[in-house]
A and B are shown apart, each in its own frame.
Chain A
Amino acid sequence: MYKLLKYCFCFGLLMVSAAGNKLFARQQQALTARIDSIINIEPAESVNIGYLSPKRTNITGAVSVVNENRIKDFASVSIDALLQGQVAGVRVVNISGAPGGGALVNVRGVATINAGSLPLYIVDGIPVKAYRMSGALARNADNNPLADINPDDIAGITVLKDANATALYGMRGANGVVLITTYGGTSGKTYLDFSGYTGVMQAPDPLSVLNADQYREYILEKERARGLSDAEINNGIGRYLLLSTPANQVERYNNNTNWQKDALKTGRFNNYHLTLRGGDAVAKYSLNVGYTSQSGVLKNTSFERFSTRFNLDYKVGRKLSFLNTLSYTRTNRELSEMGNAFNTNPLFLTAVKSPALTAFQQSAEGEDLRDLDSADYAGRNNPYAVQNGLRNTSNTNRILGRITGQYTFSPYLNLRIAIAGDYFRLDEERFRPAAGFAPEGYIIRSSAAGKSYELMLLNENTLNYTRTSASGDHTFDATIGSAFQSTAQDAKVGVYVNATSDQFSGISSANETDPNLDSIGSASPSWKLLSFFGTVRYRFMNRYLFDVNIRADGSSRFAPRSRGGNRWGYFPSIGAAWRISDEAFLRNNKIISELKLRTSYGITGNQEVGYYNSFNAIVPAPYNNYSAVRLGILGNKNFQWEETKQFNVGLDAEFIEGRIGVAIDYYTRKTAHLFNTINIPGISGFDKYAVSEGAIKNNGVELSLNGRIFTGAFGWQTSITAAYNKNRIVSLPGKLNPVVNYGDYSSIVLAGNAVGAFYGYNALGVYANSSDVSVRNGAADTNPFRGGDIIFEDVDRNGIIDEGDRKVIGNTNPDYYGGIYNVFSYRNFDLSVFIDFAVGNDVYNAQRAALESMSNYDNQSTGIQGRWQKEGDVTGVPRLLHGDAVGNTRFSSRWIEDGSYARFKAITLGYNFPLKGSLKNAFKTARVLVTAQNLYTFSDYKGFSAEVGSITNPILYGVDYGNVPQLKTFMVGVKLGL
């Protein structure tokens, strides 16, 4: 896989050297502004860093800017997914290629084990909900709240990475901050921009599994191998293998169904967006309206979004102005279940389902009847029923708004008072009929409905002072402020089971004692944050820059001082930069146009550590259906936020009037007071309590490189981002159970290892001969190894393969990740090629583990045909073994695969119409484009896609139960400016 990395970097280097050669050979030429804007080189621009917008050259922190044009033209609908490959040090893992799917974003590595790991997203000054509501009704499906923000509304994104940039976000800043600005109004001209895209998404190739004949042959061989006689087989499984099938059942078991192919189709994507911008010196406005619809490659999955946004800024008199933003978004989703929902995840189920069966019941002549075939002898649901009968829908309504009043006392001093709100409402429904499904315990069919909302209200007040001395040598900016934020969530779920027929899909119930009313639940966590903050920025001679920031946050999640707790956290940071290029000795240098050395140090926090850990909590314990309570949570009054201390040193350089731009950052982040739960003796009456103990260290290097290589009629620009991060657990509280068991796999948290380490046996191969076995299988050796079994490494060398032989067998964190972006232009054509890559991360291919287990009645991959069959066979695939008493399928390195990849994420060809004559009167701009996305991926991974995310366990990415990959997408688009 490292060859891929090599490839990526060679490609990059090639371009850099090409640039170098050309630079000296050619006369510099001015670039068109459009291409400039695609590549992020605009040295003098103001950068939104939250409470301030200094010039880019005056920033001391590690801040990356993503230009609007870099996130357009994609089929992804969610801003988190669009950040992939764009920013050095920001790792983005798409959860799936399902419609509306989001991603998981980590800035500078994972710095937590149990707390939230997402960055703070702020849209036009509103901290928006990014964490998913817990417990989606559609199992493991993604109701990503960030899909409510239409990327087409976005004018720019800034990612704050180091402590100096994020310290003003205090207790929420440790995971980084993503600042999003939407289109504002203009003064003077009025613009009306329209964009429209339409395209198709190609279904992935099915995994190669056995056909019906091969399947029957394999099952029969397996049953014989377990020692069953022909009579026993005929009385048992033989009935399903056409051996002893009753005459009236033959047609049921005599099919050859390609379940995977039947489950997949071509998806469609449509996206339309209209922006109206205008205004004058007094008022500026912008109106955005967008509509997106997407249908998935799995049947009955879709995403639809309607969004509207209105931004209005106006002045009242000379000193008072108001800045308003208001948006409303509606999304509708049809979801399929994902992940380890083994019997309802279509991609998992269709691969393991017996190919001998078919969707519908069969007549004696082998024709489809109307009724669906029921669940089968292996307990597997009918995949057709899963796709057509199981109904998972959700919709969201989202309102974001902020009103800022600004009063200007003098040119130096202004006051801003803002109120902001974020209302997120999610309605979910799930209906699982009986037809085609295996009962789950007493549940034959079930209907569930969920209603949840989150409401965030914020008041933020800042006083801003800025002054430059008469000589111009000293510039002084200061802001002090206070904020109060309150967030309340309320989620209610009702489940009704075993209604009399599949026609009743609602949760209506006769009365509250109806035994079919399975459960009614609610969860209403809330939290509040009170903050005071201040920042001072001082600049001397435009060369020496100093920043000091501090924020004090008090959170309702933690116990007050009066109870001996840690309610208030203080988050300071300092930063300094030296603009060497402004020194006399470099000022007139022709090669180096900008050179800045910067460094920072600071402390930030992460408050996403649960709501009820700091106090003893009484919880319900109903007995015989009467109300009752118990002391249920042992609170820890010392409980606190996770705290990250980060050091950053960076170099920004631009050469030859900005034709080459380089930014390099080195950082170390040490996160302490980790949210952990420690186990305590059972004699306490409890299992555990929450502590703030343990530490993780991330350090890494980030590189951004921009180059305008050719600047003539034929233009070529390139932009490379790459990051290296090393993640290591430094310490953990004692009494922590390091091995975390997730059922079919395990991970380990252990000092010295990375977060998200897979923990299991090391499989070295397959015993060719029984005589090769020299270890016992467990102390008792009840099921000894023999030829055809997996050779597990005897790590502790005691001659016994047991739990002591488990070790770290994989790491879900990549070593390197990033993106390469190239734009070529010729006359009115432009071509962009965008590659993203991740190298060195491991994936647990759980789907392959099911498809090669050879231990039950599931269908298997064609790979098992090369299995060990007789003494002396040399192969990597073990023998078949019903029930697997030996444990060949145990969680081992056999299922861990290299998840490295490099991918042509987007190749886009655009044409800009030369506007002449009547066209010129009609349009300001006119552009058409065609784009192909995810066209090809270099990867050795054997499943659908090495890129898998999990919404239930964001720390342990890379567990693949069959996941819709990032799809090959072909789109055409048109953009018109009126």
Chain B
Amino acid sequence: MKACLNKILIVITVAVLSAGCEKLLDPDPKDVIPDNEFLKDFWDAEFMLRGAYQALQPIVEHRFILGEMRGDWVKPGTGADKDLLELASHTVTPDNRYTNWKVYYDLINRANYVIENVPRVPTDANNFSNFEKNQYVGEARFLRSWAYFNLIMNFDSVPLVLTATDDISNVPYIGATSQEVILDTIEADLLKAFATTDIMVSVPNSFEVGKRVSEEQSRLRVTKKTVCALQAEVYLWRGKYAQAAAACATFETVNGGGPGNRGDWFAMYLGVSNQNLFGEAMFFVAFNFLGREVNPLMKFTSNDPASGGQYMVAPSDSAIKTYNPNYPNNISTSNTIDEQDRGFGRSYAGSAPYYNRLKSDPVIWKYIGLGTVTAGNVDVPPNVRAPYQSESKFHIYRFAEVYLLWAEALNRLGDKTTAISRINAVRDRARMPAPTVTVSSTTEQIEDYILRERGLELGFEGRRWYDLMRIARRGRPQVLIDAVKKRAPVSMHPYLETTLANPKNWYLPYNAEEKRLNPNL
């Protein structure tokens, strides 16, 4: 009996010891958090969601370069490297760094992680109801859809990963899914996102219970309006004009307001909060130099080496002529000839250091300016961002874009009158006269005008190439070919003509390293 008891005692002692031992060896990291200790409360959920938005920051470079370099609104600057030149000349090789889609899938994975894990966060009577839980998931669905939409516009068909990679055993090694299937997924996701996101974003109060509506967060986070904008773009891409128009109409209803004030156009590119943001709905990617979050846009667009500018991307001559037909000789004050609010000194400007000289290499001004520039020959200190403080925001969606998408849908639906009034609303806000197209113009003429207007309004914001593709997909490839030819050197024209005649060549090749790592691709 005693021996038996002793044995039991020994077994228990060993068990207790070894259990204690294991606990002794649990890691206690201070720089990172083991994932099984995270997502315990609403703050964790909020941090996790915000971390998903943070993935937009590295995408900005890709969105800007991929959306502009292949189109007609920019040209390679003197500092353009091999990869940029390849994009501009439509000779992209699988080694080109812009074929690396990791930044988009990083966003997708973070969104997937939110979609899968936020629902398990316990609700909290004051701060985290089921509504907010679903809202967070809805926002993540939007982010995922937006990333996939960018991917299919660039690569046609891509691997569709809808579950979070959170273990080495579920690292995906899968082939591509066709564009149409992905677009179906996006449509379905966006319907869910629309249902669960809010009109404005509320944030917890710091010192008291409850929440307050935050205008600032409503621009940094996804609302129903943002979802509508992406829906409109996706439907238009697929030629579903009625649904696109309906999405725009919903946007208008949710927004509850029209265009902002005239004359404040450039303010849209300035601060993030507490400044006049034109009173319009918008969704953008923010950067904050205090946290050393910077985007590469100053490096790409500035030609001031002291600011780190490498002048890799410059406004194209054809774009500038659209803003200011007599550039670089003259810029008038007549809004029937020149763009006042969106032209020289706003969308683009002259060279460093004063940026006001007409006859100098033009630079894109949206990302380096802190105010407008007036053309002149007198040395005035420019209102320009401090060197290396490249913290300009980058727009993803905004009011004018939705209006122009709406015009595009209505035009295709045959409602030319409303279409023109939508264009006019955008133009009027920029103090420009009514469009030169009328109800008697052809659908194509109005479409071309919308494309022109999109350039003027949304130029250099990473949309141009997709706009060209969208219109070209409607049986109008020549629009795309002509646009690129207009910007490219004449020697390139025959190559561009034959290459771009094949819609397959509008897409990028898969990245060589990605193919090596994933043989199923």
Contacts and interface: CB of A to CB of B under 8 A. Distances in A.
A626 B286 CA distance: 11
A525 B29 contact: yes
Contacts of B288: 624-625
Interface stretch (B134-142, B158-166, B373-381, B425-433): B158-166
A633 B32 contact: yes
Contacts of A527: 27
A560 B165 contact: no
A384 to B, nearest CB: 24
A632 B32 contact: yes
Contacts of A490: 30
B166 A631 contact: yes
Contact of B172 (A523, A557, A614, A684): A684
Given A524-B31, A617-B34, A689-B168, A680 B293 contact: no
Nearest to B24: A530
A112 B407 CA distance: 64
Nearest to A632: B32
Nearest to A512: B290
Contact of A683 (B35, B166, B172, B293): B172
Contacts of A614: 27
A631 B110 contact: yes
Contact of B27 (A556, A618, A680, A681): A556
A684 B34 contact: no
B31 A625 contact: no
Contacts of B172: 681, 683-684
Interface in A489-540: 490, 513, 515, 518-519, 522-528, 530
Interface stretch (B44-52, B258-266, B314-322): B44-52
B453 interface: no
A630 B100 contact: no
Interface in B244-279: 272
A253 interface: no
B148 to A, nearest CB: 11
A630 B34 contact: no
Given A518-B292, A685-B109, A628 B32 contact: no
Contacts of A679: 513, 517
A319 interface: no
Interface in B94-147: 100-102, 105-106, 108-110, 112-113
B494 interface: no
Contact of B21 (A554, A627, A633, A735): A554
Contacts of B55: 621, 630
B290 A687 contact: no
A634 interface: yes
Residue of A556, A636, A685 with most partner-chain B CB within 10 A: A685
A616 to B, nearest CB: 4
B53 A623 contact: yes
Nearest to B272: A624
Interface string A611-652: 110111111011111111111111110000000000000000
Nearest to A519: B292
Most chain B CB atoms below 10 A, which of A490, A615, A616, A681: A681
Given A441-B308, A628-B53, A684-B109, A523 B31 contact: yes
Interface residues of A, number: 58
B33 interface: yes
A682 B159 CA distance: 10
A2 interface: no
A441 B299 CA distance: 11
B35 A631 contact: yes
Interface string B163-193: 0111110011110000000000000000000
A682 B521 CA distance: 12
A906 B51 CA distance: 60
Given A441-B308, A623-B54, A630-B110, A528 B38 contact: no
B108 A685 contact: yes
Contacts of A687: 102
Contacts of A629: 33, 38, 44, 47-48, 51
Contact of B34 (A615, A622, A689): A615
A847 interface: no
A580 B27 CA distance: 50
A630 B54 contact: yes
Nearest to A678: B517
Contact of B290 (A513, A523, A567): A513
Contacts of B34: 615-618
A556 B26 CA distance: 6
B495 interface: no
A357 B397 CA distance: 54
Greatest chain A CB density within 10 A among B27, B50, B292 is at B27
A554 B53 CA distance: 39
A617 B33 contact: yes
B16 to A, nearest CB: 15
Nearest to B520: A681
Given A524-B30, A556-B25, A616 B166 contact: yes
Contacts of A442: 308, 386-389
A404 to B, nearest CB: 22
A555 interface: yes
Contact of A735 (B27, B166, B287, B517): B517
Contact of A515 (B24, B108, B161, B289): B289
A627 B50 contact: yes
A248 interface: no
Contacts of A618: 32-35, 38
A484 interface: yes
A686 interface: yes
Contacts of B51: 621, 623, 628-630
A562 interface: yes
Nearest to B290: A625
A515 B517 contact: no
Interface of A: 441-442, 484, 490, 513, 515, 518-519, 522-528, 530, 554-557, 560, 562, 567, 611-612, 614-619, 621-636, 679-687, 689, 735
Given A612-B32, A628-B50, 7 more contacts: A513-B290, A528-B25, A555-B25, A624-B288, A624-B291, A630-B51, A683-B161
8 contacts: A523-B31, A615-B35, A618-B38, A624-B293, A628-B51, A629-B44, A682-B105, A684-B171
Interface of B: 21-22, 24-36, 38, 44, 47-48, 50-55, 57, 100-102, 105-106, 108-110, 112-113, 158-159, 161, 164-168, 171-174, 220, 272, 286-293, 308, 386-389, 511, 513-514, 517-518, 521
The 10 A-B residue pairs whose C-beta atoms are closest, nearest first, are A685-B109, A682-B102, A442-B388, A628-B50, A617-B32, A623-B54, A616-B35, A630-B51, A681-B518, A524-B30
